[in-house]
Amino acid sequence: MNAPNPSETAFSIAAVERDTGLAKDTLRVWERRYGFPSPTRDANGERLYPADQVERLRMIRRLLDHGRRPARIVGASVEELSAMLDACLCPEGGTPAGRDDGLLQLVRLHRSVELAAALRQALMKQGLQRFVAETVAPLAAAVGEAWMRGEVDVPEEHLFTEQVQNVLRSAIGAHAASEGRPRVLLTTFPEEEHVLGLLMAEAMLVPEGASCLSLGTRTPLADIRSAAVSGGFDIVGLSFSIAYPARQAIEGLLELRALLPEEIALWAGGAAVRDKQKRLPGIHVVGDLEDTMAALLQWRRTHA
Amino acid sequence: MNAPNPSETAFSIAAVERDTGLAKDTLRVWERRYGFPSPTRDANGERLYPADQVERLRMIRRLLDHGRRPARIVGASVEELSAMLDACLCPEGGTPAGRDDGLLQLVRLHRSVELAAALRQALMKQGLQRFVAETVAPLAAAVGEAWMRGEVDVPEEHLFTEQVQNVLRSAIGAHAASEGRPRVLLTTFPEEEHVLGLLMAEAMLVPEGASCLSLGTRTPLADIRSAAVSGGFDIVGLSFSIAYPARQAIEGLLELRALLPEEIALWAGGAAVRDKQKRLPGIHVVGDLEDTMAALLQWRRTHA
DNA sequence: AACCACGTTTGTCCTGGACAAACCGAACTC
DNA sequence: GAGTTCGGTTTGTCCAGGACAAACGTGGTT
C-alpha cells in the first residue's frame, strides 16, 4: 500500500506549479536565492520535489496569500510555518463559539451526497436569505480557515463550491425573474475566479425584489461598462476574494468608476476591499452581507 | 479614439500567454524555429507582440485544438490560416439549414440581458429536455464554430456559459430531488474545465426520474471512485470537450474503469471520445444527447 | 485492417544573468 | 496623528540557447 514509489512521493516542477500555484520561474529562483526548495534530480537532471517539500511550499503559498513576504518564510521550518499559519487565524482569538462544523466535516470527508442533501435541507428550513447568512457564509469562512490550516485542498474546495453553487443557483432561479428596482449587475474582475461572493450577494438581493444579472467571473472592464450601460442597470456589484491583491482591486475600481456614468452606482465587497472605503471615493464598500441589505435600503430611500 | 498607443496595440509575452493559451516557452521556441512570431522589443529588450501577430497566434491555437500540427501552420499567412479554419468547419458541407442564429448574435454582441431573457423564454416554451436538445446544444455548437472563426472570444464564451449555466441549474433544481434509479454521478477529469456538457446531461436525465449528482469539473480519479462507491451510484458519467486530447481521455477512462467496481457503469460523452467505442471496452460511449436517453432506457431494461 | 518499429516533430526543462515593479520604512508635511 | 514622498531592498518575470523525452506520423509486417 505504501510502497515508496518515487512517482508517488516526488513531483516534477510542472506538477508542483499546478499544486502550489507557484510559477516554475519562482520555484527555480527561490532555490537559487534561499536554498529552498532543494529538489533532487532525476536521471535527466530534472527537478524532483519530495512530497514534504511540496507540503511546505503549500504552507508558504497560503502565508503569501495573507500578505507575508518570501524572505522571512521561505527558509522557515514546518513548525515555524505552522505557528505563523495559526497566528493568521482568528487574530481576535478563538473560533466563533457554537459554530456548526457538521457541514465542514462533510466537505473534508468528501461526502458529496450528504453535503448536497444537508445544504438543500438547510435551505428549506431557513429560507434563502437566512441560509446564505447563517449557513453558507459561515461554512465558506470555515472552509477558508481549513484551507489555511491545510486541512482541505483543491478537490475539497471544489466540491464545496460546486454544491453550494448548485443550491444557490436553483434557489435564485426559483424567484420569478423580477422587474423590480434596483437593477443590479454582478461580476468580478478578470483575475478573480471566485464565484460564491457573487452568488451570495444575488441570493440576498433577489428576495428583496431587486433584479439581478450575473455576468459570472472574469469580466474585462470594458465589458462591464458596456453591459451596465446598455442593460440600463442602476448598480454594478464587484466581488473580491481574500487572495485578490488589494492594490489591484483599488486601481481597477477607480478605473471602472471613471468609465461608468455617474448615475450608475458602484458597489464592492469582499475581503480585499474591506476597510478601504476612504481610498475609494464614489464607490460603496459593502463589508458583509448585512451591509448589502443596508446599502439596498439606502439606495431605495435615495431613489424613491 | 484610435490613437496608436503602443500599450494598446502591442502585448507582453505574459499577456500573449493569457490571451492565446500558448506557454511562454512555446512562444520563444517557435520564434527560434519557425521565425514566427517575430515580436519587436521594448527599451529593455523584452518582447512586444503586435496585435496582428497575436490574432494570428489565436488562429493557430484554434487549429492546434483541432489536431493540426505546428510545423505546417505556424509559418502560414492569415489568408491560409483562414482557409484552414473554414475547412475545419462543417466538414460535411453547409451550415445546418434553418438554424436560429438569433441567440448567437446576442452572445456576439454581449447582450447579456436579452440573452438571459431569451434563454428563459425558450426554456418555458420548450420544457427542459427539448430546450437542451433544440436550443442549448445547437447554440453551444454555434458558439464553438464562431470561436473557431474568431468571431467570439473569451468574454463572449464566458457570458454564454454563465447564462446557460444559470438557466439550466435553476431548471434542474426545480425538479424535486429524486430518489429514482439509476443514480448517476457526473463530473470531468482534472484537466477538463468545461461544465456545460455535464449540465446538459443532467438536464436530460433528471426529468426522466434519474437522480443525478454533479461533482463539478476537475475531479481527481481517486475522488471519483470514492464518491461513486460511498454514494451508492449506478453510473458514473464523464464529459470531454473537443479540446481534450483523445489519447489522454482514453487512458484516463481505462484507468477509472479499472478503479471502479464492475457493477458501476461508466459512461463517457463529448467530442474527444466520439467514435472511440472500440478502444473503450466496458465503457459506454454516448455520442450525443439522444444517445444518452437511449442509454438510460437500456440501463433500465437491463436492471429491471 | 490492426499493430509495431523508427525517424521526426514539439513542448518543456535547464542554467545563470539581468532588471523593473512592488514593497518597506524613514523622513517629511499638512 | 494621518498621510505623502523618497531611497533602498526584495522579488517575480524575462532573456538566451542548449538539451532531451514524449508525442506523433509513417511505412513495413502480421
Q: Is residue B93 part of a domain?
A: no
Nearest CB neighbour to A110, from listed B172, B218, B223: B223
A302 interfacial to chain B (CB closer than 8 Å) = no
- B207 with B167, same domain: the answer is no
pLDDT at B3: 40
A54 found inside a domain: yes
List the single best residue of B192, B215, B217 to mutate versus A (max A Cβ within 10 A): B215
Residue nearest to nucleotide D17 (CA to C1'): B32
Residue B20's Cβ-side half-sphere holds a number of Cα atoms within 13 Å equal to 28
**Domain CATH number, residue B129:** 1.10.1240.10
**Is residue B1 domain-resident?**
no
Domain's final residue, options A153, A172, A191: A172
Residues in chain B closer than 8 A to A155 (CB atoms) = 218-220, 223
Find out whether B149 and B89 touch, Cβ atoms under 8 Å: yes
Of B112, B167, B171, Cβ closest to residue A227: B112
Whether B116 maps to a domain, the answer reads yes
- Of B78 and B275, more confident: B78
B142 shares its domain with B233? no
Can you list the positions of beta strands (E) in B42-83? Answer: 47-50
CATH number of the domain enclosing A292: 3.40.50.280
Please give the C-alpha separations between residue A259 and each of A4, A235, A253, in angstroms, as whole numbers. Answer: 58, 14, 10
Same domain, B181 and B163: no
B290 in the same domain as B184: yes
Domain count, chain B: 3
Q: Assign A120 to helix, strand or coil.
A: helix
What's the pLDDT at A133?
94
Residues A164 and A184 in one domain: no
If asked whether residues A147 and A68 sit together in one domain, one would say no
- Domain C-terminal end among B119, B153, B172: B172
Distance CA B213, CA B237 (A): 10
What pLDDT, on a 0 to 100 scale, did the predictor assign at position A148? 83
Domain that holds residue B127: 102-172
Domain shared by B135 and B61, yes or no:
no
Let me know whether B133 and B188 are in one domain. no
Last residue of a domain, one of A63, A88, A113: A88
B94 assigned to some structural domain: no
pLDDT of residue A34: 93
Element (H, E) at A99: none
Query: Which chain B residues in 236-295 lie under 8 Å from chain A, judged by CB atoms?
Result: none
pLDDT of residue B194: 92
* pLDDT tens string B223-245: 999 999 999 999 999 999 888 88
Q: Do the domain assignments include residue A97?
A: no
pLDDT value of residue B4: 42
Residues 138-157 of A with CB under 8 A from B: 154-155
Beta pairing partners, A285: A268
Question: When comparing pLDDT for B247 and B88, which is higher?
Answer: B247
Residue A119's alpha-carbon distances to A160, A269, B216, in angstroms, are 10, 24, 16
Same domain as B128, residue B217: no
pLDDT tens per residue across span B139-179: 999 998 888 888 888 889 999 999 999 999 999 988 877 78
Query: Which band of pLDDT confidence, cut at 50, 70 and 90, is reported for residue A3?
Result: very low
Q: Do B255 and B184 share a structural domain?
A: yes
The answer to whether residue B97 is domain-embedded is: no
pLDDT over 80 (residue B94): no
Digit-coded pLDDT (tens) for A251-280? 889 889 989 999 999 999 988 888 788 888
Smallest Cβ–Cβ distance between B166 and the set A161, A214, A223 belongs to A214
Within A150-195, where are the H helices? 154-174
- A159/B215 touch (CB, cutoff 8 Å), yes or no: yes
Query: For residue A62, what is its C-alpha cell?
Result: 497560503
Other beta carbons within 10 angstroms of residue B64's beta carbon come to 16
| CB contact B15 to A (< 8 Å) | no
Average pLDDT over residues B266-288: 87
Largest CA distance in chain B: 73
Question: A80-126 pLDDT, tens per residue?
Answer: 888 888 777 655 545 555 566 789 999 999 999 899 999 999 999 99
pLDDT of A86 reads 79
CATH number for the domain that contains residue A18: 1.10.1660.10
**Yes or no, beta carbons of A112 and B167 under 8 Å apart:** no
In a domain, A94, yes or no: no
Q: Is there a contact between B50 and B40 (Cβ–Cβ < 8 Å)? A: yes
B259 with B238, same domain: the answer is yes
Q: Are residues B194 and B271 in the same domain?
A: yes
pLDDT of residue B214: 93
Is A230–B162 a contact, with Cβ atoms under 8 angstroms apart? no
